[in-house]
Chain A
Amino acid sequence: MIYDIILTTLINGSTWALLAIGFSLIFGVARIVNIAHTAFYMVAAYCIFYGTYRLGVHPGLAVLMAIVLVMVLGLICYKLFIEPIREHEAAVLIATIALALVFQELVLLIFTGDFRTVPALIAGYLEISGVKIAYQQLLTIAAAGVILAGVWTFLAKTRLGLAIRATAQDREVANLMGMNEARVAMLTLVISVALAALTGAVVLPLSVLNPHMWMGPLIMMMAVVVLGGLGSMKGSFVGAYLLALSEALVVFLIPKGAFLRESVALSIMILVLLLRPEGLFGVAFEEER
């Protein structure tokens, strides 16, 4: 039982950590709540599906194509729809919701509402103490770990990472310090969207594709981000695994109540917020006057 809980926590937690960090990045730097984040993840997933099945290319190549495509898409959407109205936060929010809807409908039109899957990159499984674990699941965890480590190194060690962290802390001062705030925001968006695409690639073979697949992860991702504290990478990371653990516990200890896992996770988030209104590691933002 413990293995199952750990395994499930690792898989789900990694997925959400990847998504949450991308979301947190763009929020911290540009103060954009990107509701379409998981929609980008969905678009990437469908691109990979299309590449692998309809075009017949190798899955790895399809992943690369998807990432590039999604990055370009994100850039275009940002330039066209978000940047002109950046000062109106409420409008930006609605615009991202509308974008997500557009993506959903386009996918529905092109691929219809039927469910699709993508084959596992590594087929087969291994057996540990009577329970079968697919290689793909292990691959997912490993990939997620590598990507997270990569993001961490990027943010901590490179100059651009430093710029991103600085802008996230205080936009105006970063501007004063000579960092082109608008360009940093744009680059962050591209990275954030690329992360969403990577998540799609990594998690894809385990899940089922359909045009509404962006809504479920959206809620959990936002819960993770809020729990961990907006703008904090460490918070998103920890929050992701915490909520994944709570979900795994619910499913395993209360099998009849497995459907309640989302509610339980959200309740935990609310409880934590009651005690610490900025989230676990959040930074209390100064009200910008």
Chain B
Amino acid sequence: MKKPVILMTVLMAFLLVMAIGSPVLGADTIKIGVIGPMNFLQGKGHWNGALMAQDEINAAGGVQVGDKKMKIELVKADSNEFLSMTDATNAMELLLTREKVNYVVGGFRTEAVLAMQDIAMDYKTIFLGCGAATKEICDRVGQDYDRYKYWFRITPFNNLFLAKTSFIHLATVGGIMRKAVGIEKPRVAIVGEKQAWVEAMVAASETNIPKLGLEVAGVWRPSQTATDVTAELSAIQRADAHIIFTIFSATVGVTFAKQIGELKIPVAQVGINVEAQKDGFMEATGGMGNYVMTMNTYARGVEYNELTKPFVEGYIKRFGEVPTYTADTHAAILMLAESIKRAGSLDGDKIVPVLEKWDEKGTTGQFKFDQNHDPVWGPGYLTSLGVQWQEGKLVGVWPNKWKAAPEAPEITYKGIVPYKLPPWFIEKYKK
């Protein structure tokens, strides 16, 4: 009589057992979890950068922990954070409990990182962020140090600095425009996708742009998934804008560039356009994406210091494309390894103070944390790059003889080339 019941119970037990699986017996290795949206470019960057770090360290014999050397073992976790928040938190929990990793690197979408950070802090595990820029994430360190001290952001620098840097780019382009075609006060169309991180930047732009000697022509807020921006572009043309200040992180960045290129609209695009950072941008815009300028961390041929080139070239050789900023999991793991060596132990509580005092050269410049475990920005520290698409190639155009302040040192990284205005723009405006 109880046959079906037994069947059901057996089935349920089977499912449970399959789910539990057998715990992986850890050898004498340091397990580092790499968590990110693995089906997308950002997650792939996380994983690839980590792979490079792992190989580099293990080739040298491993990490020095006290008086023995331990190798690094990476554990991949797909957070799927673009599509599902519960997936992200489940993945983090899986890493920390089932896989029992010692440290975690990665994360991208702010909403997900906030939740994942909480879980990591619950387990007092060091979590090095390599993707989410929102300042709030690091503010938590200051608000509740004892709980959040295990969090450090490695890349990018926070959104306030992102805004500052893009304004500097804007001013640079405005200056070039003035010199090239003699427009005294170029008009700027602010176009930002409808996202919370853009809000602050849009508001800041409206106040700052006049201070840069430019004029605001208008503000447009398309939806981030917009596949047709004809309406916005027509309106921008009518507003006689010379520069489009882009604040894009999603699809709309491609659509915009493509349509501007196809219609040869006489504007210079500058700002943040995350899609334009990718090698596939040219193909995505059908070849129409030239002259788009955006912020980026790495570019072919540009060197911040002597550490940059080996990393970038090594990455290109191995993975066929320029690393994006999420590939700085490489820097994160190298930093971690060195900190373990200096602390002499794997204990998070001993490593945290070492990281806090960190002031070393990294592949993107001099790296130092502020008191909220956020990377420090500025000349001599991290500045990132301004890159532009010229003739189908992504090249570095900023900083080019840049002075942060009149008494600051002039900065030009090796491999920077001059910025170019679109020829149809010069054609239209040259008197």
**Segment among B16-24, B57-65, B262-270, B369-377 that sits at the interface with chain A:** B262-270
Q: Among the listed B194, B219, B286, which residue makes an inter-chain contact with A117, where contact means beta carbons less than 8 Å apart? A: B286
User: In the complex, are the beta carbons of B262 and A216 less than 8 A apart?
Assistant: no
User: B278 to chain A: which residues have CB within 8 Å?
Assistant: 114
**Chain A residues within 8 Å of chain B by Cβ, number:** 42
User: B221 to chain A: which residues have CB within 8 Å?
Assistant: 255-259
**Segment among B233-241, B296-304, B345-353, B360-368 that sits at the interface with chain A:** B233-241
Shortest Cβ distance from residue B219 to the other chain A in the assembled complex, whole angstroms: 6
Most chain A CB within a 10 A radius of its CB, from B41, B225, B278: B225
Q: How far is the CA of A1 from the CA of B412 in the complex (A)?
A: 44
User: In the complex, are the beta carbons of B255 and A113 less than 8 A apart?
Assistant: no
**Would you call A213 an interface residue if the criterion is a C-beta within 8 Å of the partner chain's C-beta atoms?**
yes
Q: Among the listed A11, A12, A206, A216, which residue makes an inter-chain contact with B225, where contact means beta carbons less than 8 Å apart? A: A216
User: In the complex, are the beta carbons of A108 and B39 less than 8 A apart?
Assistant: yes
Most chain B CB within a 10 A radius of its CB, from A136, A212, A256: A256
User: A256 to chain B: which residues have CB within 8 Å?
Assistant: 219-221
**Would you call A97 an interface residue if the criterion is a C-beta within 8 Å of the partner chain's C-beta atoms?**
no
User: In the complex, are the beta carbons of A252 and B230 less than 8 A apart?
Assistant: no
Shortest Cβ distance from residue A210 to the other chain B in the assembled complex, whole angstroms: 7
User: In the complex, are the beta carbons of A115 and B262 less than 8 A apart?
Assistant: no
Give chain A interface residues in 127-143, CB to chain B under 8 Å: 130-132, 134, 136-137
**Would you call B251 an interface residue if the criterion is a C-beta within 8 Å of the partner chain's C-beta atoms?**
yes
Q: How far is the CA of A234 from the CA of B193 in the complex (A)?
A: 35
User: In the complex, are the beta carbons of A113 and B39 less than 8 A apart?
Assistant: yes
0/1 per residue, A8-42, Cβ < 8 Å to B?
10011000000000000000000000000000000
User: B41 to chain A: which residues have CB within 8 Å?
Assistant: 113-114
User: A115 to chain B: which residues have CB within 8 Å?
Assistant: 251, 254, 275, 280, 284
Q: How far is the CA of A242 from the CA of B232 in the complex (A)?
A: 20
**Would you call A248 an interface residue if the criterion is a C-beta within 8 Å of the partner chain's C-beta atoms?**
yes
What is the chain B residue whose CB lies nearest that of A3? Answer: B234
0/1 per residue, B127-160, Cβ < 8 Å to A?
0000000000000000000000000000000000
User: B284 to chain A: which residues have CB within 8 Å?
Assistant: 114-117, 208
User: In the complex, are the beta carbons of A255 and B235 less than 8 A apart?
Assistant: yes
User: In the complex, are the beta carbons of B285 and A117 less than 8 A apart?
Assistant: yes
User: A262 to chain B: which residues have CB within 8 Å?
Assistant: 223
User: In the complex, are the beta carbons of A252 and B231 less than 8 A apart?
Assistant: yes
User: In the complex, are the beta carbons of A12 and B227 less than 8 A apart?
Assistant: no
- Having A114-B280, A114-B284, A123-B262, one finds 4 other A-B pairs with CB under 8 Å, namely A12-B228, A117-B284, A130-B238, A251-B235
A interface vs B, CB < 8 Å? 1, 3-4, 7-8, 11-12, 108, 112-120, 123, 125, 130-132, 134, 136-137, 206-208, 210, 212-213, 216, 248, 251-252, 255-259, 261-262
B interface vs A, CB < 8 Å? 39-41, 193-194, 218-225, 227-228, 230-232, 234-235, 237-238, 251, 254-255, 258-259, 262-265, 275, 278, 280, 283-287
